[in-house]
Structure 1
Amino acid sequence: MRLKCIVIDDEPLALQLIRNYVSKFPALELVKTFEDAISGGEYLAKHDIDLLFVDVNMPDITGVDLVRSLEKKPIIIFTTAYKNYAFESYELQALDYLLKPIDLKRFSAAVEKAVDYYKYKNLPDEPREDESIYVYSEYRMIKILLKDIEYIESMADYIIIHLAGSDKPVMSLMTLKKVLEKLPKEKFIRVHRSFIVSVNKIRSLHNRKIRLETIELPIGDAYNDVVNQYLKSS
């Protein structure tokens, strides 16, 4: 398996650097490079590409606007010379972004993530050692192992994924309903309008409360019968 990729960057040195980096990874096949977004966009409109490295700031149109205009979006990795990453790119759910000057080690990590994400999206029936989901957080796609999830909490327009053994939860712009669609029904259950819990992390059920490994959560009125029936049958 090789990911077909193209690079779009108006800086010749940056373009050459990424070209050299790509050549070091057998999992990548560099198809084309472009020094302007318009030519790159025209190519993308006519060809199927798996992975796109694209500069954020270009003189004709920005990388963000280019990606937004694409009907069929490949996996996106933005490159930028600016630490303040454009918020508008959030909606595009780029897999990652690389800060210039790009370090080979950091580039390698992004490529590894791209290959893993490609398998996740395109080979769903292939047996995997670790079941996982991807969510968009902090301007990049984050891989989360299902076995690490203790519970998921809703907060306004966001979800907060609480991980066992970690004091740093993952926040993502998503609804509980949407994330529940990504999760296997036999392993996760919604117990409240604000909470989804991992069945494997349930320790006890008492007085309309469900005890997990680190916290006790309420069971909503609308979910009480469903929770009890689910746990009895599992």
Structure 2
Amino acid sequence: MKLKCIAIDDEPLALEIMKKYIGEFTELQLLRTFEDAVSGAEFLTKNHVDLLFIDIDMPDITGVDLVRSLVDKPMIIFTTAYKNFAFEGFELEALDYLLKPINIKRFATAVNKAVEYARYKNSDGDTGNECIYVHSEYRVIKIPLKDIEYIESMQDYIKIFLTSAEKPILTLMSMKSVLEKLPADQFTRIHRSYAVALKKIRSIHNRKVKLNMAEVPVGNNYADFIKNWQK
């Protein structure tokens, strides 16, 4: 599987580096490069592209605005010369972002992520029930199912708590949406605001589920879960 890609950057030297790096990966097929965002945007409307490398700061139109304007978005990898930039990362759902000057090792990490994510999408999300992908902190994150302990809903966002991380992963997603991605025989909702990994349950007492990391309540509408779990 080859990913058809283009690169957009107003700096000719940056584009030459991208050409060189892309040529190092057999998984990538470079269709075109563009020094202005307008020409790149026009190409995207007329051609199928799997992966877009695009600079954020450009004079005619920013990379962020270009991506936001696309109806059929390819996978996006932003490139930037600024360490601190802020934009609607959740909305744009960028796969990754690379800080200039880009080194080949970091570039390879982003490409491997794109290849894995493309396989995940092309298989309708069925990867042997081993992982899910979510957008968080301006990039796509791969989460092994075995690492998920519980999930907490916070209005439009959810927190995914992992046994392998000190901090939860925050992503713009509903509880219903994430549960649709997870195998029903491994995860269940026990409260309006909580879902848990069944294998991580240590005990249930006084309508509270004790996990490895925390203790979460069982909601009134999910009381049958306790009876079924104890069978």
Tell me the TM-score normalized by structure 2.
0.94
Unaligned runs of 5+ in 1: none
2:148 matches 1:149: yes
- Give the Cα separation in 2 of the matches to 1:232 and 1:48: 52
1:113 matched residue in structure 2? 113
Runs of 4+ in 1 over 3 A off after TM superposition: 124-128
Q: Higher mean Cα deviation, 32-41 or 154-163?
A: 154-163
Partners of 1:170 and 1:215 in 2: how far apart? 16
Contact 1:152 1:196 in 2 (8 A): yes
**Alpha-carbon contact 2:90-2:138 (below 8 Å) kept:** yes
Q: Which residue of 2 aligns with 1:122?
A: 122
| Equivalenced residues, count | 231
Q: Is the 8 A contact 1:64 1:89 kept in 2?
A: no
After superposition, the Cα gap between the structure-2 partners of 1:189 and 1:30, relative to the gap in structure 1 and judged at 3 Å, is: same
1:202 and 2:201 are equivalent in the alignment: yes
1:14 Cα offset (Å): 0.3
Q: Distance in 2 between matches of 1:22 and 1:156?
A: 40
TM-score scaled by length of structure 1: 0.93
Whether the aligned pair in 1 keeps the contact of 2:53 and 2:78 (CA below 8 Å) is yes
2:46 alignment counterpart:
46
Deviates most, 79-88 or 95-104:
79-88
Inter-CA distance 28–197: structure 2 relative to 1 (3 Å threshold): same
TM superposition shift of 1:206: 2.4
- Give yes or no for the alignment of 1:79 onto 2:88: no
1:92-129 Cα shifts (integer Å, max 9, x gaps): 1100000111111110100010000101111237654x
**Structure 1 residues 1-234: aligned runs within 5 Å:** 1-124=1-124, 128=128, 131-225=130-224, 227-228=225-226, 230-231=228-229
- The question of whether the paired residues in 1 share the 8 Å contact of 2:90 and 2:171 is answered with no
Aligned 8 A contact 2:89 2:139 in 1: no
Q: Percent identity?
A: 60
Equivalent position amino acid for 2:74 in 1? P
Q: Unaligned stretches of 5+ in structure 2?
A: none
CA separation of 1:230/1:68 partners in 2, compared to 1, >3 Å: closer, same or farther? farther
Checking the alignment, whether the CA contact within 8 Å between 2:64 and 2:87 is kept in structure 1 is no
Provide the alpha-carbon RMSD of the alignment. 1.7
